[in-house]
A and B are shown apart, each in its own frame.
Chain A
Amino acid sequence: MRDLKSRGVGIIFVTHFLDQVYEVCDRITVLRDGQLVGEYEIESLPRVQLVSKMLGKELDDMADIKNDAPEFKAADNEVVYEAEELCSSEGIKPFDFSIRKGEVNGFTGLLGSGRSECVRAIFGADKVTGGTVKVEGRTVKINKPIDAMKNGIAYLPEDRKRDGIIGDLSVRDNIILALQVKKGFFKPFSKAEAIKFAEEYIKLLDIKTASVDTPIKSLSGGNQQKVILGRWLLTHPKYLILDEPTRGIDVGTKVDIQKLVLKLASEGMSITFISSETDEMLRTCSRLLVMRDRKLVGVLEGSELTQNTIMNTIAGGEQ
């Protein structure tokens, strides 16, 4: 791009990635909710201010998130989900995992480290090849998604387009889908019920859509993500798995989702939160499981939860 620039080509670069903006751009135009916020020279707009312009909020809001959340007291609560020696056909090493009521934990690691494969194994999305699973103390078999759903587990997948949305179907059908499947083939919701559910979650999650009948594919990425989140919240899960819920969506929605995660956890839901952005996980998770080369290599808690220790564990403890 710099090469093109030196040859006199004018470039308009549209991106979510702030690093790249500061790498290549001279001037920034900020848009929010379909409105022009302003145009700035890059030198006059430090990164923090850019974020606050994008959010339309003062900066402190984001820093406050972690402080809003009460510290999680793990020992008090019952174990909701527990797996021993779980492994799947996707080549992850057998791993142990458990989560308590109201706990937020996360899998971290580099891309391809197997963090997504772990949660897919928990949900039965990939072929489960071994291990024992207990939900609320009862031993259960989870071999396919419907088994997990019946046990009160919900999974928001990493790739929204491929695994999350049913593009041509309406926002309403997309919201009711999981609950409808759980309820059964011969028990369809009436149109009125479906609309009621959809409107409830459109309001709760502040989803911006023209109507409940709008095809989901015409919504923005962030709003699509909220629809899928709404779909799973509608099933009232005990244990919610969020794989990269904030990837490729605007900064404002990211913060909304993080806040929602903490709120749901405070109401007793167990949540696994995966993100490529470690600071996001530090803000939400009370326990981090570190993956390297498809293997669980460490569990970090309490005072260990810092960028440094995470980096070190991912890198293999070498200083």
Chain B
Amino acid sequence: MSSGNNNAGTGSFLSGILRNQIFIPIAALLILAVFNFIVDPSFFKITLGHNSNGDPVLSGQLISIIDYGSELAILAIGMTLVTAASRGQDISVGAVIAISGSVVLRVLCGTNSRPDELQAPIIVAFLISCLVAMAFGAFNGALVSIFKIQPMVATLILFTAGRSIAAWINNNELPVVNDETFTYFGSYIPGIPIPTPFFIAIACFIITWLALKFTNLGLYVQSVGINEKTSRLNGLNPALIKFVTYIILGLCVAVAGFIKVSRLSTINYSVVAKDIEMDAILAVALGGNSLSGGKFNISASILGAYVIQFLTTTLYKFQVQSDALPAYKAVVVIALVILSAPVVREKITAAFRKLRSSANAESQS
């Protein structure tokens, strides 16, 4: 009797994990990790070295994953909310990163594109870029929530125009910031061997977690994403809630853009954050969130973002040409889309239930 109970206990625990959507990115992470471990265990080696300034820095593939995956993780936060509330995705995030990055450089450099000194404090540049990115988010949000245009179509406008706007902000020049402190945000703070973007991503995660805990953002966004009509009849304003998610995504874009320009101290309008929108959407999907809106799990999306960076790093390590990367990622998308289709998920759960009951029967007989 007791052993039977025990069995059912572990069984329901297993299926509990299975049903939890964070299972998907964890499983993907494990598969990638095992694969890398078998092919080349040195993938996981982390070494403590010194950079050109003599400060201690950790290096290794894992460190580069948590470093370069951070912009993606930050974007995934906003993209998850936008997806959940408006049942569609914002494909203009890469272009708006170019815009907000351009704004940062413009404020820091002023009219001279290669100043010896900063023309404004870094925090001011950052805040102004936040406002600008949020304004562009509001533009997208207005198209989606007020004019009820499909999100991908609405954001196609800035996807197309964004990089030209970014170039126009700096008169098509490429300003270079010549300041040590500015580079800290995209690399290392002296004395701390872990890359700064990772800390910024953690800060963003904590802020989001607090916002979800101390406000009704989560409940409202999910309600609106699942059933707009019902939400309205329960006193919510669906248009406003969708609008707000686009502004939040705008803020995430500004933070990601700030990291991007800090990495290089300059910007390349046509290349910066190229194709990042696809990775951000993929992160949401990999986190087990339905791309047609509704329930969401931010932690799973963030984990999904790092898993994608893991995949990218793995592919680079196997010397896959950067042009060919999207093709490999497409394979992951196909697998994900099929796995997350309700039909397949039901089959999997049913198969597990069968497995469990047959195991139970064996243990009893």
Q: 0/1 per residue, A168-194, Cβ < 8 Å to B?
A: 110001000110111011111000000
Q: Is A163 an interface residue (CB 8 A)?
A: yes
Q: Is A298 an interface residue (CB 8 A)?
A: no
Q: Is A237 an interface residue (CB 8 A)?
A: no
| Chain A nearest CB, measured from B124 CB (Å) | 29
| Other-chain contact of A181, B213, B214, B235 (Cβ < 8 Å) | B235
By the criterion CB–CB under 8 Å, are A169 and B295 in contact? yes
Q: Which of B269-302 contact A (CB under 8 A)?
A: 294-295
Interface of B: prevailing SS: helix
By the criterion CB–CB under 8 Å, are A164 and B230 in contact? yes
Q: 0/1 per residue, A145-173, Cβ < 8 Å to B?
A: 11001000001010000111111110001
| Other-chain contact of A186, B214, B222, B227 (Cβ < 8 Å) | B214
Q: Which of B129-162 contact A (CB under 8 A)?
A: none
- Residues on A with C-beta less than 8 A from B226 are 166-169
By the criterion CB–CB under 8 Å, are A163 and B219 in contact? no
By the criterion CB–CB under 8 Å, are A167 and B227 in contact? yes
- Residues on B with C-beta less than 8 A from A181 are 216, 220, 234-236
| Other-chain contact of A178, B217, B227, B229, B234 (Cβ < 8 Å) | B234
Q: Is A121 an interface residue (CB 8 A)?
A: no
Chain A, Cβ-Cβ closest to B213: A188
- Residues on A with C-beta less than 8 A from B231 are 166
Q: 0/1 per residue, B205-225, Cβ < 8 Å to A?
A: 000000001111101101100
Q: Is B233 an interface residue (CB 8 A)?
A: yes
Q: Is A290 an interface residue (CB 8 A)?
A: no
By the criterion CB–CB under 8 Å, are B215 and A177 in contact? no
A186 to B226, CA, bound (A): 21
- Residues on B with C-beta less than 8 A from A80 are none
A231 to B219, CA, bound (A): 15
Number of residues of chain A lying within 8 A (CB) of chain B: 28
Q: Is B317 an interface residue (CB 8 A)?
A: no
A145 to B223, CA, bound (A): 15
Q: Is A104 an interface residue (CB 8 A)?
A: no
| Other-chain contact of A163, B215, B220, B222, B233 (Cβ < 8 Å) | B233
Q: Is A125 an interface residue (CB 8 A)?
A: yes
Chain A, Cβ-Cβ closest to B236: A181
By the criterion CB–CB under 8 Å, are B234 and A177 in contact? yes
- Residues on A with C-beta less than 8 A from B223 are 166, 169, 173, 177
By the criterion CB–CB under 8 Å, are A188 and B233 in contact? no
Q: How many A-B residue pairs have CB under 8 A?
A: 74
Chain B, Cβ-Cβ closest to A228: B230
| Other-chain contact of A188, B214, B222, B236 (Cβ < 8 Å) | B214
Q: 0/1 per residue, B221-253, Cβ < 8 Å to A?
A: 011001101111111110000000000000000
By the criterion CB–CB under 8 Å, are B227 and A177 in contact? no
| Other-chain contact of B294, A168, A177, A182, A186 (Cβ < 8 Å) | A168
Chain B, Cβ-Cβ closest to A164: B230
By the criterion CB–CB under 8 Å, are A185 and B233 in contact? no
- Residues on A with C-beta less than 8 A from B295 are 168-169
Q: Given that A125-B233, A177-B234 are known contacts, is A165 also in contact with B219, CB under 8 Å in the complex? A: no
A227 to B236, CA, bound (A): 19
Q: Given that A173-B219, A188-B219 are known contacts, is A178 also in contact with B214, CB under 8 Å in the complex? A: no
- Residues on A with C-beta less than 8 A from B229 are 162-163
A123 to B234, CA, bound (A): 11
Max chain A Cβ within 10 angstroms of own Cβ: one of B227, B231, B237: B227
Q: 0/1 per residue, A83-111, Cβ < 8 Å to B?
A: 00000000000000000000000000000
By the criterion CB–CB under 8 Å, are B216 and A145 in contact? no
A188 to B219, CA, bound (A): 9
- Residues on A with C-beta less than 8 A from B222 are 166, 168-169, 173
Chain B, Cβ-Cβ closest to A186: B215
Chain A, Cβ-Cβ closest to B241: A185
By the criterion CB–CB under 8 Å, are A165 and B230 in contact? yes
Chain B, Cβ-Cβ closest to A181: B235
| Chain B nearest CB, measured from A112 CB (Å) | 19
By the criterion CB–CB under 8 Å, are A145 and B235 in contact? yes
By the criterion CB–CB under 8 Å, are B230 and A163 in contact? yes
A257 to B237, CA, bound (A): 30
A121 to B267, CA, bound (A): 55
- Residues on B with C-beta less than 8 A from A178 are 234-235
| Other-chain contact of B233, A155, A168, A173, A187 (Cβ < 8 Å) | A155
By the criterion CB–CB under 8 Å, are A182 and B227 in contact? no
- Residues on B with C-beta less than 8 A from A188 are 213-216, 219
Q: Which of B155-213 contact A (CB under 8 A)?
A: 213
- Residues on A with C-beta less than 8 A from B227 are 162, 165-167
In the complex, given contacts A168-B222, A180-B219, A185-B216, what are 12 additional A-B residue pairs having Cβ atoms less than 8 angstroms apart?
A123-B233, A157-B233, A163-B229, A163-B230, A166-B223, A167-B226, A167-B227, A169-B222, A181-B235, A186-B215, A187-B216, A188-B215
Chain A to chain B contacts (Cβ below 8 Å), 10 pairs: A146-B235, A166-B230, A169-B295, A173-B223, A180-B219, A181-B234, A185-B217, A186-B215, A188-B214, A188-B219
Q: Footprint of A on B, CB under 8 Å?
A: 213-217, 219-220, 222-223, 226-227, 229-237, 294-295
Of all A-B residue pairs in the complex, the 6 with the closest CB atoms, nearest first, are A146-B235, A181-B235, A178-B234, A188-B216, A149-B235, A166-B226
